[in-house]
Amino acid sequence: MMAAGTVIVGAGQAGFQAAASLREHGYQEPIVLVGDEGVAPYQRPPLSKAYLLGEMSGERLLLRPLSYYEKHAIELVLGDRVTSIDRAAGRVMTSSGAALPFDHLILALGARNRPLPVEGAELDGVHYLRSQKESDLIRARMDGAQNIVVVGAGFIGLEVAAVASKLGKRVTVLEALPRVMSRAVTRPVSDFYAQAHRDWGSELLLDARLQRIDGAGGRVTGVTLADGRKHAADLVLAGIGIVPNVELAQAAGLAVANGIVVDRRLATADPRISAIGDCAAFPDPASGAMIRLESVQNAADQGRAVARRIAGHAEDYAAVPWFWSDQRDLKLQMVGLTAACDRAVLRGDPASRAFSVFCFHDEKLIGIESVNRAADHMFGRRLLGAGQSIAPDQAADLGFDLKARLAQLPPPARA
Ligand SMILES: Cc1cc2nc3c(=O)[nH]c(=O)nc-3n(C[C@H](O)[C@H](O)[C@H](O)COP(=O)(O)OP(=O)(O)OC[C@H]3O[C@@H](n4cnc5c(N)ncnc54)[C@H](O)[C@@H]3O)c2cc1C
């Protein structure tokens, strides 16, 4: 009997990588990559940066040209949605009526935007940003807009604000918490970015709660804050986080807790079914705590890891997380997880617009946040990847040679 092979649900960053890596590892069985978006897998980061600004074409968003999939015998099923998993029969059903059998099933379902929970959220002119289509809509709307209100000063909100202010729009950013990007970065980096956006001409309102979105004739005209303040808007961009797509797994009886629950090898309780990328909750290799990450690195590395396991090289997932965000001339790069940071050490001067914050927990380096200091970021990836640390006073000392420290590292275990 012919092998059913691997079905990958979700043709995004993680799903694409799993398919590509399976073939790189010599996997010979059929691979079917199913995506509901109707376009071949593409990168999302430019959607709030160069692509939104009009400096990058749609073609360049694609992770690979269509010919790649044919050449590597990856069957791409686009514009179709997997609606259920029949675990007993080992197959998934799609909205077009297809039944796709699998030996291995990889759920790479991504996430969807968290909707604004306020009156007026349904008005024309209220936008979210996850897909290329949504980026196109925002750009078209932005061209004719004067006043743009961004709800949420996370990465996507601030990246859109950076584009909009560069395009000469009047931008207001509302953030319910006392500082920007607070879930992800330390205070010095938050404060630096808040000032940068103000310098670019945006109005940044912290501790600001959105009460409702105002409109006339079905179209957005402004927003009202909880304290009664009003701001005019002809475009509202909501960037208040995402919700992982877990329903498919849940309906199939798999455990779900802020993500589809997987083990150290990214497998669910059903060993034939794995979950990767934005939709997966997995044990942090460092602490063992269940985490879910939303980044290209996480999606791609988990795609690679699950492909290696299916191809017969089982090992625990242990990649060091990293992330970046581009806002005008500022490149923010982060490595490690810094929530447990109990000592933040500055390397370089924020006034020079190039500095890093080295984050320690119990005197051990756990992460680095860098602004326009790519070398510090790369240092962190190598050092943390080797499970090593430096002392806080070394981090603060610009005379301390990071390159020389890397030269002392043992060679990596696997190329
Ligand atoms: C605007 C924007 C900017 C970003 N910028 C950065 C950045 O600068 N740096 C960074 O590291 N990360 C960034 N990210 C995050 C990064 O893009 C994501 O973490 C990454 O795309 C996650 O990959 P994924 O494959 O898990 O999910 P996705 O890329 O979302 O792919 C999941 C796919 O599955 C499809 N799908 C879901 N359910 C089904 C179903 N039942 N049947 C078929 N298909 C289904 C979805 O429609 C989607 O196409 C950004 C994200 C966005 C939206």
DSSP bridge pairs for 236:
126, 149
Residue-wise pLDDT for 274-295, tens only, equals 999 999 999 999 889 999 999 9
The confidence score (pLDDT) of residue 415 equals 44
Residue 278 CA to residue 260 CA, distance in Å, equals 10
CB of 302 shorter than 6 A to ligand 1: no
Mutate which of 42, 44, 135, 327 for ligand 1? The one with the most ligand atoms within 8 Å of its CB, which is: 44
Q: What is the dihedral of CA 151, 157, 163, 169, to 10 degrees?
A: 10
Nearest CA to ligand 1 atom 37: 109
Question: What's this model's pTM, rounded to 2 decimal places?
Answer: 0.97
The residue among 45, 35, 6 whose CA lies nearest residue 96 is: 35
Q: How confident is the model over 111-134, as a mean pLDDT?
A: 98
Average pLDDT (151-174) is 98
Is residue 17 in contact with ligand 1, taking CB distance under 6 Å?
A: no
Ranges assigned E (strand) in 79-181: 82-86, 91-94, 99-101, 104-107, 111-113, 126-127, 147-151, 170-174
**In this predicted structure, what is the pLDDT of residue 2?**
77
Classify residue 5 as left (phi > 0), alpha (psi -120 to 50) or beta: left
Residue 273 CA to residue 87 CA, distance in Å, equals: 9
Residue nearest to atom 50 of ligand 1 (CA): 45
In the predicted model, is pLDDT for residue 57 greater than 90?
A: yes
Under the banding of pLDDT at 50, 70 and 90, the label for residue 100 is very high
Q: Is the pLDDT of residue 161 over 50?
A: yes
Question: How confident is the model at residue 195, as a pLDDT?
Answer: 98
Bridge partners (DSSP) listed for residue 344: 359
Lookup: tokens for 150: 């961004």
Q: Is the CB of 237 under 6 A from ligand 1?
A: no
Per residue in 356-375, pLDDT tens?
Answer: 999 999 999 999 999 999 99
The mean of the pLDDT values for the chain is 97
Determine the pLDDT at residue 286.
86
DSSP-assigned states of every residue in 163-197: HHHHTT-EEEEE-SSSSTTTTTS-HHHHHHHHHHH
| Ligand 1 lined by 294 (C-beta under 6 Å) | yes
What does the alpha-carbon distance between residue 273 and residue 85 come to, in Å, rounded to a whole number?
10
Instruction: State percent of the chain over pLDDT 90.
Output: 96
Q: Which atom of ligand 1 is nearest to the CA of 242?
A: 53
CA-nearest residue, atom 19 of ligand 1: 295
